[in-house]
Amino acid sequence: MSVPGIQKTDKRMGIMAFKKNTNKSETSKYSKLSGTGRPRKTGKKDNGGEGRAEGSYSKGTAKGKISGKSFNKGKSFEKGRPNDKTRSFEKNEPNGGGRQKEQYKADNRQEYDDSDSINLIEGRNSVLEALKSGREIDKLFIQKSAGEGSIRQIIAIAKEKKILIKEVDKAKLDGISRTRNHQGVIASAALYKYYEVDDILKAARDKGEDPFIVILDEITDNNNLGSIIRTADAAGVHGIIIPKRRAVGLTPAVAKISAGAIEYIPVAKVTNLNHTIEYLKREGLWIAGAEMKGEAYYDKDMTGPLALVIGSEGEGLNRLVKENCDFLVGIPMKGKISSLNAAVSAAIILFEIQKQRGAKKA
């Protein structure tokens, strides 16, 4: 899906990012920190709450999963912010609760119970990466006479792991497929696990690296989310944060588009993005927002602990989320077409961040 309205609106900079239409006035301004290219906020502003009272988050439990304690946080990543008392973040139900189920003929559904505790992994790459990653798989459906190429490798790994394999007709796979692009193989597995924000921070610490996180502000398209997950894995991102409401979750279609990257990138689902951003700031991260009026992305110093916020396909960054960012970055546009979709824009900026982080290590 295309992000409309990405155009040159600032004659002094001539750059683009995501457009955000709003009738509300902005309540904060930013000033640059001289010498480092890093911004420093001036004055107080709204904490970005969305009607939620101050206080600690309560940790919930995803349906069908066993709750557990969050990781103990280690030393905060230093950057001069006060290390205030932190909040714990809640695990939320996997995407799909309350979603109307697709209807299929009963004779094609006997081998698959369409319940909230089952997830289908479809397509050769997605199934192969799920098997390699150690994902718990209950059953494997293979199309008859489809034993060539990567299917042969999938069958070999499944046999080694003692996973039940069923050979079925193509019509059977078509009946249970949700993506309509199963490529002759479907795996039945438990629902995708949602992580906590602290899990993502701990993953960075365990690798001895500065946190590199992507925050998605109301991305509703399966193709964009799946592509961003795939790009994030390639760019070395430690995790992705999505909102609980008004956003697509980890669906079979997203898994298929991610080409298996969903098995390696932790995704956290949170109730309030602005509270999460404030928490990350206290943990020492800089927050960069992709926005039309931001500075050219390749002119900004984006090394160190960083979270990049990508706005929705149609609306761009939410006003309060934009005001909560430390600085804004955009992509210069020179052609007749003045728009890029969220996944393409995210890829361009993420690989610039990867390049800068690699150069800093060298």
- pLDDT number for residue 77: 53
Task: Find the distance separating the first CA and the last CA of the chain, reported in whole Å.
Answer: 38
CATH of segment(s) 106-189: 3.30.1330.30
Task: Look at residue 100 and tell me whether its pLDDT is greater than 90.
Answer: no
Which of 95-99, 125-129, 177-181, 305-309 has the highest average model confidence (pLDDT)? 305-309
pLDDT more than 90, % of the chain: 36
Mean of pLDDT over the chain: 75
Contact call for residues 231 and 122 (beta carbons, < 8 A): no
> Is domain 15-91+193-361 given the CATH code 3.40.50.720 in the classification?
no
Supply the DSSP string of 16-67, one letter for each residue. E------SSPP--EEEE-TTTS-EEEES------SSPPSSPPPP---TTS--
Question: What are the structural domain ranges in the chain?
Answer: 15-91+193-361, 106-189
Cα dihedral 355→241→250→162 (10° resolution): 70
Residue 31 to residue 165: CA distance in whole angstroms:
61
CA 288, 292, 294, 297 dihedral sign is positive
Reading the block at residue 305, the tokens are 């602990």
Within 10 angstroms of residue 258's Cβ, the number of other Cβ atoms is 26
pTM: predicted TM-score of the whole model, two decimal places: 0.60
Position 49 confidence tier, pLDDT thresholds 50, 70, 90: very low
Which H or E element spans position 188? Answer: strand 185-189
Residue range 203-262, pLDDT digits in tens: 999 999 999 999 999 899 999 999 999 999 999 999 999 999 888 999 888 988 998 899
Task: Look at residue 11 and tell me whether its pLDDT is greater than 60.
Answer: no
Cα dihedral 287→291→293→295 (10° resolution): 50
